[in-house]
């Protein structure tokens, strides 16, 4: 009978570790987000946080003050949810791009996706288009940017492909950055330019349930697709002939990977502006800790990236009287930490 079958001790250990690993990845961002709800310039006790959430979920009368309800339910919970989505989405998009281009430096930033999506979103802001229109434009221009980078860098099989991809991404990113600067130049200096400039620096302060309803599906669908394809993404690092010999539709796989990663990046950019370094730093930390197997790398990037972003956003809104833009903190923390990792490891390979 099946219940009498005894697994070898080694297999049981691997299975136990796997269960523990995925349990940690599931609950670590949730626990971190729950704790950070009460942290800020207006501190909220844990019991009041729990009571407020339960009251809304049950549709009961609030036992806490209106001020606590506004801070917890209307301001911090949407912001925490957005931080979880952005923190989980950008690293997994970076992981997918690194495997797609066999390039450890490939991220939504270096491949021009972030700059392209930013241009589309800035155009939407300039013409006062609603959020759905802004997200559509960001998705369209973000996809165009990565398509141009792909065309430049992947024209033929050669040893220079990796360098061509990075250089192509830099060129495309520069073009879209110049277009963003053009929009800023022609924007009204009193009503439009300040909001565009602040938005480009990255902030989660505008998070609310409406923006989440519009933007979250793109991130969630993209993350779910990449999670489902995580073992197939390993094939992307093989040569064209090797990938085809395994019976994989390599063109469809590449298209789904690019589409999912671009959807995630464009939606993140449209909701909170540019958030640098997260799509590069978190995948490398996870790769050093767990290896290059995407079956583990993809979920670990989602879990640890979401936790990282919640902590960073909590620091951004709590450290000073005026909120610090997210991209400033991620660059100040990410760049030195990445240099330290680089010096310690001597570099990485896919």
Contacts of 101 (CB under 8 A, 6+ apart): 111, 153, 154, 161, 162, 165
Which pLDDT value is given to residue 11?
Answer: 40
Say if residue 206 is exposed, middle or buried (CB neighbours under 10 Å; 0-12, 13-18, 19+). middle
Tokens 């999506």 found at: 117
**Nearest CA-CA partner of 300 in 9, 15, 26, 16:** 26
Q: What are the helix (H) ranges across 38-76?
A: 46-58, 66-69
Tokens 């005894």 found at: 6
Which pLDDT value is given to residue 160?
Answer: 57
Euclidean distance between CA atoms 196 and 183, whole angstroms:
9
Q: What is the pLDDT of residues 27-61, one digit of tens each?
A: 899 999 999 999 988 888 888 888 888 888 887 76
Which pLDDT value is given to residue 186?
Answer: 93
CATH number of 25-345: 1.10.3470.10
Token pair belonging to 200: 């480009």
CB atoms within 10 A of CB 281: 23
For the chain, the farthest-separated pair of C-alpha atoms sits apart, in whole angstroms, at 77
3-state secondary structure 99-110: HHCCCCCCCCCC
Whether residue 89 contacts residue 215, with contact meaning beta carbons closer than 8 Å, is answered with no
Which pLDDT value is given to residue 76?
Answer: 93
**Nearest CA-CA partner of 127 in 191, 172, 181:** 191
Mean pLDDT of 283-305: 89
In this prediction, what percent of the chain has a pLDDT beyond 90? 28
Confidence class of residue 8 from pLDDT cuts 50, 70 and 90?
A: very low
Confidence class of residue 194 from pLDDT cuts 50, 70 and 90?
A: confident
């Amino acid at each position: 009978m099946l219940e009498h079958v005894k697994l070898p001790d080694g297999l049981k250990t691997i299975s136990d570790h796997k269960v523990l690993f995925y349990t940690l990845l599931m609950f670590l961002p949730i626990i971190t987000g729950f704790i950070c709800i009460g942290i800020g310039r207006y501190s909220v006790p844990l019991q009041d946080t729990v009571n407020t959430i339960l009251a809304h979920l049950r549709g009961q009368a609030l036992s806490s003050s209106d001020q606590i309800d506004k801070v917890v339910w209307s301001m911090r919970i949407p912001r925490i949810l957005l931080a979880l989505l952005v923190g989980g989405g950008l690293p997994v998009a970076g992981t997918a791009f690194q495997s797609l281009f066999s390039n450890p430096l490939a991220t939504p930033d270096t491949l021009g996706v972030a700059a392209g999506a930013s241009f589309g979103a800035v155009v939407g802001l300039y013409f006062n288009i609603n959020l759905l229109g802004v997200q559509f434009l960001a998705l369209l221009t973000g996809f165009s940017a990565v398509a141009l980078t792909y065309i430049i860098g992947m024209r033929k099989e050669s040893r220079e492909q990796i360098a061509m991809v990075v250089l192509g991404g830099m060129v495309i990113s520069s073009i879209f950055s110049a277009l963003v600067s053009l929009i800023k130049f022609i924007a009204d200096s009193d009503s439009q330019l300040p909001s565009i400039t602040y938005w480009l620096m990255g902030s989660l302060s505008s998070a609310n349930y409406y923006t989440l309803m519009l933007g979250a599906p793109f991130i969630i669908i993209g993350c779910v697709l990449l999670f489902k394809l995580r073992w197939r993404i390993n094939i992307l690092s093989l040569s064209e002939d090797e990938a085809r010999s395994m019976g994989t539709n390599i063109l469809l796989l590449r298209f789904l990977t690019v589409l999912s990663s671009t959807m995630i990046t464009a939606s993140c950019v449209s909701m909170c502006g540019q958030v640098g370094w997260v799509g590069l730093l978190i995948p490398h930390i996870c790769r050093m800790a767990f290896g290059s197997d995407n079956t583990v790398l993809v979920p670990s990037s989602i879990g640890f990236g979401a936790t990282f972003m919640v902590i960073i956003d909590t620091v951004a809104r709590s450290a000073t009287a005026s909120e610090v833009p997210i991209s400033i903190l991620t660059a100040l923390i990410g760049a030195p930490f990445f240099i330290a990792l680089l010096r310690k490891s001597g570099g990485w390979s896919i």
